[in-house]
Structure 1
Amino acid sequence: MDQEVREENERKKEYLKSYQKAVRREERILQEIQRLRLDRIFPEVINDGMPHGSSQTDLSDYIILVDEQIDLLKQERLEKAKLRSDIEGRIRELKNDDEQDVLKIRYIKCVNKWEDVAKEMNYSLRKTHKLHSSALIHLKI
């Protein structure tokens, strides 16, 4: 495989991986919302033996932080949905069903281990890699 084809395939893989990255960004936002909620329920306790004033803060600060994260989550989910739709549409354009399947399993279902992809397709690891390479060549982005 010449250098130009390799570079093109790498570009296609990065495009396909953009959906997985969007999924991870969404998960990080959800974790941050959960952290904020837990921090509100179980505020940090300073146990140094010294008297401290109340650490209660205005609830509006907390609500603003959570609302910002929820807005961010909405934006990320919209972006993720657009990416998935675009990627799935391009995958559907492939003429070979096996090529479609290998890309869907790998990049839409986010199955990262090649052994698991091969197992799900009921093919050998070698056949799965060949299908993936062929699919990348035929994929139009």
Structure 2
Amino acid sequence: MTKKEFLRQYLDLSREIDAKLEEVSRYRALATKVTQSLAPDKVQCSQGNKMEAIIAKLVDLEREVDAEIDRMTEAKKTVAAAISQVPDSRYRTLLCLRYICGKTWEEIAVEMNYTYRWVARMHGRALAQLAIEVPIQPVL
């Protein structure tokens, strides 16, 4: 794992959770959807089974989301703790804006009143000051 991958873990988990929450929303819409049958003499017994299956999937997905939120909270604490150890406050700000707030390089440049190129250079310097142990990946 590189330093960038370490820092990105919080935002990656956040995006995964957002996707799952969107799926939960779709399942909720299906579970609450009411349809009317126009043929009164037609009887269907499988509607209850469909509803039960949807609700079961919804409950399972919500449990997954809860577990992911716990992982994301821990990842945010770990990433924030690593960033807080960076000595230069400008570099800490840059890393927080990028890896905690999820801002683009352009947004960071505008917010910090620097050029895009200078923000890119600062990012490299900030990563160099980041004190985390990254295992060396063997070359295959």
Q: Which TM class, normalised by the smaller chain length? A: 0.7 to 0.9
> Unmatched 5+ residue regions in structure 2?
37-41, 133-140
TM-score, normalised via structure 2 length: 0.81
| Long gaps (5+) in structure 1 | 1-9, 46-50
Deviations 1:81-105 (A, max 9, x none): 0000000000000000000011100
Higher RCO (CA < 8 A, seq sep 6+)? 2
Number of residue pairs the alignment of both structures matches? 128
What is the aligned counterpart of 2:107 among 116, 121, 127?
Answer: 116
Q: Give the TM-score taking structure 1 as reference length.
A: 0.80
Partner of 2:123: helix, strand, or coil? helix
Q: How does 1:60-139 map to 2 (within 5 A)?
A: 60-111=52-103, 113-139=104-130
Structure 1 stretch 69-78 or stretch 125-134: which is displaced more?
125-134
55-64 or 86-95, larger mean C-alpha shift: 55-64
Q: CA deviation at 1:121?
A: 1.1
Match for 2:123: what amino acid?
H
User: Which has the higher mean CA deviation after the structures are superposed, 77-86 or 118-127?
Assistant: 118-127
Alpha-carbon distance between aligned partners in 2 of 1:115 and 1:52, rounded to the nearest angstrom? 60
